[in-house]
Amino acid sequence: MALKHVQKTYDALGASDPLWAVLSFPEARNNRWDPDVFFARGRKEIDDVMAGLSRRGVAFNHDRALDFGCGVGRLSQALASHFARVDGVDISASMIEAARGYNRCGEACRYHVNTEPDLGLFDDAVFDFIYSNITLQHIPPEASETYIGEFVRLLRPSGVALFQVPDGPAIRPGSLAAAWYRFRSGPLRRGWKRMRGKPTVEIHWINARRVRTLLERAGGELLDSWQEGSVRRRRVSRFYLVRQPGGS
């Protein structure tokens, strides 16, 4: 199972240092995050995202939103200021337990553990907005590619998804390069981190052209994509804005 190591890593981090696992600032390690500061950063991020989409003229309903890779609900609770209901999804049961403990939005925020390589826990066309940041970069591409297609399936007509994934060289599935990538980014990276006493967090990328192809196959309309920073100083962090066509 491509996700078993991701689940194991974040279950451990969610039990020991959940806020730092989400925003890994060195000075905040060992449970030194101030929760008020931590969640305030989430509110600023979502407020900036909503303002940016408004400036771009991207309109959508504000009934229901999905926070994919919600962790402890940093962005889920922030989204609840803009949507009537927010669903947060994470692979880690310990993270979801922490999210429920930190929740100050009542039933407006609902949290779900999902260990499957898809989002089959949700029916088609149920969300007006889907947001994911600093999540897909930790998931092996074979699972991330499925999730990207699922984002489109879950959007209501004229709904919008905005997600981030690092860009990198194209790798042909089934090639020697693909096998080396899986080994280097998976067992080799985890072993190296374990030797240094660090959490076995993986870092992955998907080539930008491949992302566009996945969105087209799923039936989504790519509105825009843009570069915003980098991941570990090695990969460009690229955001993709996609709409589900249809509706009035």
CATH topology of domain 4-243: Rossmann fold (3.40.50)
The whole-angstrom separation of Cα 110 and Cα 142 is: 27
Q: What is the pLDDT of residue 234?
A: 62
pLDDT in tens, 186-234: 888 888 888 888 888 888 999 999 999 999 999 999 999 998 877 766 6
Amino acid at 144: S
Please state, for a pLDDT cut of 90, what percent of the chain lies above it. 79
Q: What is the pLDDT of residue 247?
A: 64
Q: What's the average model confidence in pLDDT over 88-115?
A: 98
Q: Of 81-95, 163-177, 233-247, where does mean pLDDT reach its minimum?
A: 233-247
Quote the mean pLDDT of the chain. Answer: 93
Q: What's the average model confidence in pLDDT over 104-119?
A: 97
The whole-angstrom separation of Cα 62 and Cα 47 is: 14
Please state, for a pLDDT cut of 70, what percent of the chain lies above it. 98
| Structure token pair of residue 138 | 């930790």
The pLDDT-based confidence of 116 (bands split at 50, 70, 90) is very high
pTM, full prediction:
0.94
- For every residue of 164-229, DSSP letters joined together read EEEE-----TTSHHHHHHHHIIIIIHHHHHHHTT----------HHHHHHHHHHHT-EEEEEEEEE
Does position 183 have pLDDT exceeding 90, yes or no? no
pLDDT in tens, 9-60: 999 999 999 999 999 999 999 999 999 999 999 999 999 999 999 999 999 9
Q: What is the pLDDT of residue 124?
A: 98
Q: What is the pLDDT of residue 74?
A: 98
The pLDDT-based confidence of 171 (bands split at 50, 70, 90) is confident
Q: Where are the domains of the chain?
A: 4-243
Q: What is the pLDDT of residue 73?
A: 98
